[in-house]
Structure 1
Amino acid sequence: MSLAIDVADLNKSFGDKHVVQDLTIQVAGGRICGFLGPNGSGKTTTLRMLCGLLTPDSGRGACLGFDILSQAEEIKRRTGYMTQRFSLYEDLSISENLEFVARVYGLDRRGERVDEALDHLGLAGRRDQLAGALSGGWKQRLALAAATLHEPQLLLLDEPTAGVDPKARRTFWDEIHALAGRGLTVLVSTHYMDEAERCHEIAYISYGRLIARGTAAEVVAGSHLVTFHGEGPDIDRIGEEIARKPGVESVAPFGAALHVSGTDRKALEAAIAPYRREPYRWDEVPPTLEDVFIHLMGQAQDNYP
């Protein structure tokens, strides 16, 4: 498959803070790539460089076959970008917002395109409702309709499902997969591990550097993380004790269970050995993507001067 995103050695600084450092990433056309990382790691800055809203301080590459430095306007016309915060006009109705977007892009058949978008995303019955009166899930649908109204080839989504309920998130992701099935390339930043697992591949960025890349299974395997799952009444009470043991990188409660993780199997076994007795039970389990996320965060170094 041809590459929709193919950039190398991207750098961007704001004052003394080096926000994106030597970032290289490739995404094939029609793929959904999850963009993971802690807050302040440069995800939003990277998205804005890819779609031409920010110019890299250095680096090279192309999006949709256009040079990111010299052909940013061509990339903008072919890209949909959904920001973290709802950015449409709250004092306009749903249909008025979409009509405005259609005019900005100079689209033909504006009324027809707006009607199709309203029908497709289930917004037709609310077309005259003010955007500011919508719930989070409906605002999300409207923002997605606006970002895809001009039929882009690349869709950049910046934490698009923050603050919406699980049903709305699932509906949203069903639509994203449908769009990808029609050839749209999607790069989506998220903090939800279940969403990351729905992506074809993921990229983990921490403090401006790309430190893990591949499918979810490949990233988990590449972490070389070992995880023990412990169960028992009030097991969370021994979590702090275990966390202080050598070789333990993280201890995460999961309901009435604990996940104890690290890369040194012998050290982990020694750490939980005093608690291998009734009423506790321990089993080695495959690490979850969340276990790996916490592990990678612990390895990263803050780039704040």
Structure 2
Amino acid sequence: MTAAIDVHGLSKAFGDKRVVDDVSIRVEAGRVTGFLGPNGSGKTTTMRMLCGLLTPDAGEGTCLGLDFRRQSREIKRRTGYMTQKFSLYEDLTIGENLEFVARVYGLDRRRQRVTAALDQLGLASRRNQPAGALSGGWKQRLALAAAVLHEPSLLLLDEPTAGVDPKARREFWDEIHALAAGGLTVMVSTHYMDEAERCHDIAYIAYGRLMARGTTGALIEQSRLVTFRAEGEGADRLASELAGRPGVEMAAPFGSALHVSGVDRAALEAAIAPFRDRFAWRETRPTIEDVFIHLMNRAEDNFA
């Protein structure tokens, strides 16, 4: 498959803190890649370097077939970038915001393009509504419309659904997959595990270092995690008793049940043995959230 992004050794420091440290990543064209990691892990910095908004300290490679260091101006024109914070003009209407964006890009057929974007994202009936009066979900639709108005080949979304209700999040992701089906390559950072599972593949970065890369299923298999689920009265309150025992990497309530995970099966079974009679235990497949907590626990905080 053709790579929309193929970079190696990407690094960036601010002062004495290396925010992105020797990251190499390849994203195939037409894919939706989830970019995950804890706050401050370098996700936003990485995306800004890929689209030419930040100059890397080191790294080589291509973005949309162009040298991402020397041809950043052209990459910018072919990339849509949606920031985490709503960045359009709240005192302008939806239509006026999109018309302004069309002028910034110097697009032809501006009126037709704006109308098509409004229709595609269900904004036509709200065309004359001020952006500042929109709810979070509608603001994100407007921001997405602005990001794809110039028909980019690459779309970078920085936590696009933070603070958006579940229904609006699902509709937003339906739009993302519709765009990808049309050939657009999408990289999206998120903290939501259900969103991670909707991506074709995932890149996990922690404190500047890329720690895992692949599909959800592949990352679960690669983690070598063993997970047991306890059910019964008070099972969810067992976490504090198990935390810190040999073999237990994490113990987390899931509703009224408890997930206990680790990579050493024998040690993990020994840790839960004293509680076998009190609860119903069964081995279960680790969730992607289990895997990310496992990775986060093993990451070294470069800002500590």
Per the normalisation by structure 2, the TM-score is: 0.99
Structure 2 residue 60 is the aligned partner of structure 1 residue 88:
no
Match of 2:26 in 1: 26
Q: How far apart, CA to CA, are the structure 2 residues paired with 1:66 and 1:252? A: 45
Q: How far apart, CA to CA, are the structure 2 residues paired with 1:304 and 1:288? A: 28
Q: How far apart, CA to CA, are the structure 1 residues paired with 2:106 and 2:131? A: 22
With 36-45 and 227-236 compared, the bigger mean Cα shift is at: 227-236
Q: How far apart, CA to CA, are the structure 2 residues paired with 1:223 and 1:112? A: 49
Q: How far apart, CA to CA, are the structure 2 residues paired with 1:236 and 1:69? A: 51
Match of 2:275 in 1: 275
User: Residues 1-305 of structure 1: matches in 2 within 5 Å?
Assistant: 1-278=1-278, 280-304=279-303
Superposed displacement of residue 2, structure 1 = 0.7
SS of 2:25's equivalent in the other structure is strand
Q: Which amino acid aligns with 2:218?
A: E
Q: How far apart, CA to CA, are the structure 2 residues paired with 1:256 and 1:47? A: 39
SS of 1:125's equivalent in the other structure is helix
SS of 2:132's equivalent in the other structure is helix
Superposed displacement of residue 237, structure 1 = 2.1
SS of 1:171's equivalent in the other structure is helix
Q: How far apart, CA to CA, are the structure 2 residues paired with 1:58 and 1:15? A: 15
Q: Which amino acid aligns with 2:55?
A: T
Superposed displacement of residue 34, structure 1 = 0.4
- Structure 1 segments, 4+ long, off by >3 Å, are none
Is the Cα–Cα contact under 8 Å of residues 237 and 253 in structure 2 kept in the other structure?
A: no
SS of 2:44's equivalent in the other structure is helix
Q: How far apart, CA to CA, are the structure 2 residues paired with 1:236 and 1:227? A: 15
After superposition, what is the alpha-carbon deviation per residue over 1:126-179, rounded to whole angstroms, capped at 9, x for unaligned?
A: 111110110000001000000000000000000000100111111111111111
Q: How far apart, CA to CA, are the structure 2 residues paired with 1:62 and 1:80? A: 17
Q: How far apart, CA to CA, are the structure 1 residues paired with 2:196 and 2:228? A: 23
Is the Cα–Cα contact under 8 Å of residues 238 and 258 in structure 2 kept in the other structure?
A: no
Superposed displacement of residue 68, structure 1 = 1.0
Q: Which amino acid aligns with 1:30?
A: G
Q: Which amino acid aligns with 1:289?
A: I
Q: How far apart, CA to CA, are the structure 2 residues paired with 1:176 and 1:196? A: 13
Q: How far apart, CA to CA, are the structure 2 residues paired with 1:238 and 1:230? A: 9
SS of 1:204's equivalent in the other structure is strand
Q: How far apart, CA to CA, are the structure 1 residues paired with 2:219 and 2:244? A: 26
After superposition, what is the alpha-carbon deviation per residue over 1:209-232, rounded to whole angstroms, capped at 9, x for unaligned?
A: 001000000011000011000111
Q: How far apart, CA to CA, are the structure 2 residues paired with 1:13 and 1:245? A: 38
> Aligned-residue CA RMSD in angstroms?
0.7
Q: How far apart, CA to CA, are the structure 1 residues paired with 2:255 and 2:233? A: 11
Q: Which amino acid aligns with 2:94?
A: I
Per the normalisation by structure 1, the TM-score is: 0.99
Q: Which runs of 5+ in 2 are unaligned?
A: none
SS of 1:164's equivalent in the other structure is coil
SS of 2:191's equivalent in the other structure is coil
Superposed displacement of residue 244, structure 1 = 2.5
Percent of aligned pairs with the same residue? 73
After superposition, what is the alpha-carbon deviation per residue over 1:12-55, rounded to whole angstroms, capped at 9, x for unaligned?
A: 00011100000000001001100010000000000000000001
